Amino acid sequence: MEPDKAHSKSGDVEAVKFNEDVSTMRPRSSTQVRHIAILLLGIVLLVSFGPSSFIRRGRSAVYSYPPITRDVRPPFESFTVADIGTVHWWNCTGPLDSPGTECGYIIVPLDYFNQSAGVAQIALGKYKAKTVPSKGFVFFNPGGPGVPGKLSATFMGPLLQTFIGPDYDIIGFDPRGIAETLPKTECFPSAQDYIEFKAHTVLERGYDVSPNLTNPNREHLLRTQRELDVLTEAQSAICKKNMGDILRYMGTSTVVRDIDFMATAFGGDDALINFYGASYGTILGQYLVNMLPDRIGRVVIDGVADAVAWSSEPYYKWYREWLSSTEDTYRAFASECAKAGPEYCALAEADGEDGAVIMRRVEDFIDGLYFRPMAVPGADQPGMLTYGLVRRHLLEMLYAPSQWPRVAEDFAHAIHGNGTALLNAAQLVTVYFNDLARSAVSCSDNMPFTPPRPEDVVDELLSVTKEVSRFAFATVTAEPDAGCQYWSAEPPERFDGPWNHTLSNRILIVSNTADPITPIVSGRLVNSLLPHSSRLLVQDSPGHCSLNMPSLCTAKYMQAYFKDGTLPPEGTVCKPDVAPFEVPGRRLALSDSDQEMLDKLRELERAFVTVKNLRY
Ligand SMILES: *[C@@H]1O[C@H](CO)[C@@H](O)[C@H](O)[C@H]1NC(C)=O
Ligand SMILES: *[C@@H]1O[C@H](CO)[C@@H](O)[C@H](O)[C@H]1NC(C)=O
Ligand SMILES: *[C@@H]1O[C@H](CO)[C@@H](O)[C@H](O)[C@H]1NC(C)=O
Ligand SMILES: *[C@@H]1O[C@H](CO)[C@@H](O)[C@H](O)[C@H]1NC(C)=O
Ligand SMILES: *[C@@H]1O[C@H](CO)[C@@H](O)[C@H](O)[C@H]1NC(C)=O
C-alpha cells in the first residue's frame, strides 16, 4: 500500500442530514445468527450481529446474558486433590447444544508442580464420533483467548465433523480461567462492573489518529496512551485484589499440561494428541507441539499467530507482523464490494466502480470523524461515533467476510447520516471482553519486559501505521493484551521455546493469503521452524482462519489429513467456494455431496461468528 497517499486526504466531513433515499438499499437479511437467537433460545442472546441485548435499568444500560448450560454438578469447593482424575459426563441440555452431545468435567491439578495447591475443574463438551469404535478424539480450541471451547464443541460439533471426519470424538474444553472452567477469571464483581470501568475511556473508544500522518497529533496520542497505561494498571490491581494467587494458573503452558493430562485420562498413556486450533488456538497448538513433541498425532493450526513473538515480546511489538496482510483484506473488502455493485453492496454507488473509490468513501467518513464525531441519538445506547471506535470496528469486521454485506450497509447508512446501526454493532464489542480472562492468559505467557514509555508505544505504532497498516492503534483495543507490565501473577511454568522441535507426526498449517490479524507470514514462519514436521496449506482468500471463508479444497485436505495423515502436496493453494458479497441463487456446478459439504461449511462459518461473541 502507499500509506501517505491513502491517508493524506483529510477534511472536515460534515455529517450529511439523513435525507437520502436509502429505500433502494437491500433490506438487511435476517442472519442465521438471528434465527439461532430467536428460535433456539427464545431469549435475548448476546451475539454481535443479532439483536442487541440491552435491558434498561434506571439510567444505565445493562447487558443480559443467555443462561448457558450450567449443568448440575457438585460444587467445586467439594473437590480435593483426592479427586484428581475424576471425569464425569452427562447429556447436554443447553439451548445451543446439538443433539447427541455430552457435557462434562475433569478434575485436574491446579498446579502441576505443586500437588498441594489444589484442583481445577475443566469444563468439557463432546460431539461423538459416528463410527464405533472411534479412532480417538480431537481436542478443539476456537481461539480468543477467551472463546468458550466447551460450548463451541457442543454447538458446532456436527459442523466441525465436516473436516475432522466421522471417526473421532470432538472434545472442546474451556481453558483455564475461561467460561465454565473453575477457577474462572473474575476480576470484576460482574460483567457490568467491567463495562462501566471501561465506559468512555480509551479502552472503549480506542485511539483517535490524525488522518494527516505527515503531522500526526502525537501529543494527543501520548495522552491517550498514558490513559491506557493507567487504566491497565488499575485493572491489574483490581484483579490482584479480587483473585489473588489463583491468577497464576491461567497461562497457555498450564493449558498444555491440562491437554496432556486429559489425553492420558481419555486415551491412556500412549494416546497421541490430536488437536484443531484456530486463531489463538494456533498459539496453544505451537506450545502443545513444542512442549510435547513426542505425543503429537494429528494437529491442524488454522489462522496462525506467531507464538515466538507472543511469548517473548510486549504486545505493541507484535502488530508489525500481525497486520502485515490487513491492508490486503481491506482492499479485498472494497474490490469485492465494487464487483458486486450497488445491488449487493450498499457501499457501491454505481456499477463498474473501482474498489479504491469505495475505500476512499469509507476512509473519508472515518477521517471526518477525527475532526467531528457523529451524534447518534437513536442507538441502543445513545452516543457518538468516533474515529477510534469506528476504526476498531472496521478492523474486526474484516475478520469475517460473510458479514461484509451487513457491514457495508451499516457504513453506508452512517455515511448518509444515520449512524444507529453502526454504533449498535460497534458497541457490542465492549461487552465481548467482559472481564480480564484474556489478559490472564496473555500476561501469564508474556516474558517480563521493561515497561515501555508511552513514547515507545506511540512511536512504534505510528511507524507501523505509516509502513504497514492504518489499523495499528485499533489493534490495541480490538485485541486487548496491553498492560502486562502491571500484571503481578507469575505462572508456575512459562514455556518460551525452542519452537523448532522434531515432532512424532507432521502437523498441518493453514493460512489465508489475506488474513487481517493472523497473516500468512506467520504461517510461513511456523512452517519454517518445523521443516520436517509440518506442511503449509495456503488458502487464497481474505478472512481470519479458513473457517471464515469456506473452501471445499481446504476442507477436503483437512479431512484427508485427519483420516490417515495424508498431507496436501507442497505448495498447495486452495481457492474459496464462496464470494463475500454473494449473488443470491448463484450455484456452482457441484455434486450433491460437495454441495452438502459446502452448505455445512457455510453454516460453520456463521456458527464461528456466533461462538466468538458468546460470553459468560
Ligand atoms: C445420553 O442419552 C442416551 C439416550 O437417551 C443414553 O443412552 C446415554 O446413556 C446418555 N448418556 C449419558 C452420559 O448420560
Ligand atoms: C504449594 O501450594 C501450597 C498451597 O497453596 C503452598 O502453601 C505452598 O507454598 C506451595 N509450595 C510451593 C513449593 O510453591
Ligand atoms: C499535513 O501536515 C503537513 C505538515 O504540517 C502540512 O504541510 C499539510 O498541509 C497537511 N496536509 C493536509 C491535507 O492537511
Ligand atoms: C436510522 O436507522 C435505524 C436502523 O438502523 C432506523 O431504525 C431508524 O429509523 C433510522 N433513522 C432515521 C431518521 O431514518
Ligand atoms: C532450534 O532453535 C534454537 C534456538 O532457538 C537453535 O539453537 C537450534 O539450533 C535450533 N535447532 C534446529 C534443529 O534447528
pLDDT tens profile 85-110: 999 999 998 889 999 899 999 999 99
Bigger pLDDT: 505 vs 26: 505
Counting ligands in written order, which one lies closest to the CA of residue 533?
Answer: 5
> Residue 111 C-alpha to ligand 2 middle, in angstroms?
9
> Residue 421 C-alpha to ligand 4 middle, in angstroms?
8
Work out which ligand 4 atom sits closest to the CA atom of 421: 5
Q: Residue 405: is its pLDDT beyond 70?
A: yes
Residue nearest to atom 3 of ligand 1 (CA): 91
504 lines ligand 5 (CB under 6 A): no
Residues with CB under 6 A from ligand 2: 114, 116-117
Work out which ligand 1 atom sits closest to the CA atom of 90: 13
Rounded to the nearest angstrom, the gap between the alpha carbon of residue 525 and the centroid of all alpha carbons in its chain is 21
Candidate from 116, 245, 248, 493 with most ligand 2 atoms within 8 A of CB, to mutate: 116
Bigger pLDDT: 396 vs 47: 396
pLDDT at 98: 94
Domain boundaries, the chain: 68-184+262-318+504-616, 191-246+319-480
Q: What is the mean predicted confidence (pLDDT) over 155-176?
A: 96
The CA distance from 476 to 478, in Å, is: 6
Strand-pair category, 101-109 with 136-141 = unpaired
CATH architecture of 68-184+262-318+504-616: 3-Layer(aba) Sandwich (3.40)
Tell me the HSE value of 113 on the side-chain side, using a 13 A CA sphere.
Answer: 8
Torsion of CA 206, 207, 211, 217, to 10 degrees: 160
Q: Residue 38: is its pLDDT beyond 80?
A: no
Residue nearest to atom 6 of ligand 4 (CA): 420
pLDDT at 430: 60
Residue 7 — pLDDT band, cuts 50, 70, 90?
A: very low
Residue 68 — pLDDT band, cuts 50, 70, 90?
A: very low
Name the DSSP class of 211. Answer: S
Candidate from 8, 9, 212, 363 with most ligand 3 atoms within 8 A of CB, to mutate: 212
497 lines ligand 5 (CB under 6 A): yes
pLDDT at 433: 81
C-alpha cell at 392: 476498531
Bigger pLDDT: 413 vs 34: 413
Counting ligands in written order, which one lies closest to the CA of residue 413?
Answer: 4
> Residue 418 C-alpha to ligand 4 middle, in angstroms?
6
Query: Which of 64-78, 148-162, 390-404 has the weakest average pLDDT?
Result: 64-78
Counting ligands in written order, which one lies closest to the CA of residue 20?
Answer: 4
pLDDT at 113: 96
Give φ, ψ of 277 to 5 degrees.
-130, 135
Counting ligands in written order, which one lies closest to the CA of residue 422?
Answer: 4
Q: What is the mean predicted confidence (pLDDT) over 377-388?
A: 96
pLDDT at 486: 97
Residue nearest to atom 3 of ligand 2 (CA): 117
293 lines ligand 5 (CB under 6 A): no
Residue nearest to atom 2 of ligand 1 (CA): 91
Name the DSSP class of 108. Answer: E
Q: Which residues pair with 274 in a beta bridge?
A: 138
Counting ligands in written order, which one lies closest to the CA of residue 101?
Answer: 1
pLDDT at 67: 37
Bigger pLDDT: 71 vs 336: 336
Residue nearest to atom 9 of ligand 5 (CA): 500
Question: What is the DSSP secondary-structure string of 497-523?
Answer: ----PPPSS-EEEEEEEE-SSS-HHHH
496: helix, strand or coil: coil
pLDDT at 78: 84
The helix (H) or strand (E) run that includes residue 15 is: none
Q: Which residues contact 509 (CB under 8 A, 6 or more apart)?
A: 300, 301, 304, 523, 526, 527, 534, 535, 536, 537
Torsion of CA 186, 188, 193, 194, to 10 degrees: -80
pLDDT at 612: 79
Q: Residue 34: is its pLDDT beyond 90?
A: no
> Residue 51 C-alpha to ligand 4 middle, in angstroms?
15
Per the CB < 8 A criterion, the answer to whether 209 and 187 are in contact is no
Positions of E strands within 44-190:
54-57, 60-63, 87-91, 101-109, 119-127, 136-141, 168-173
The overall pTM is greater than 0.85: yes
Work out which ligand 2 atom sits closest to the CA atom of 245: 5
Instruction: Provide the percentage of residues in the chain whose pLDDT is more than 90.
Output: 81
Q: Residue 535: is its pLDDT beyond 50?
A: yes
Bigger pLDDT: 62 vs 187: 187
Q: Residue 583: is its pLDDT beyond 80?
A: no
The CA distance from 309 to 290, in Å, is: 15
Q: What is the pLDDT of residues 206-236, one digit of tens each?
A: 999 999 999 999 999 999 999 999 999 999 9
Q: What is the pLDDT of residues 350-360, one digit of tens each?
A: 999 999 999 99
Q: Residue 295: is its pLDDT beyond 80?
A: yes
Counting ligands in written order, which one lies closest to the CA of residue 89?
Answer: 1
Mean pLDDT of the chain: 87
Name the DSSP class of 181. Answer: S
> Residue 128 C-alpha to ligand 1 middle, in angstroms?
12
pLDDT at 355: 98
Residue nearest to atom 12 of ligand 4 (CA): 418
Q: Residue 613: is its pLDDT beyond 90?
A: no
Instruction: Provide the percentage of residues in the chain whose pLDDT is more than 70.
Output: 86
Residue nearest to atom 3 of ligand 5 (CA): 498
Q: Residue 367: is its pLDDT beyond 90?
A: yes
pLDDT at 74: 58
Residue 582 — pLDDT band, cuts 50, 70, 90?
A: confident
Bigger pLDDT: 67 vs 465: 465
pLDDT at 350: 97
Q: What is the pLDDT of residues 126-143, one digit of tens each?
A: 999 999 999 999 999 999
Residue 9 — pLDDT band, cuts 50, 70, 90?
A: very low
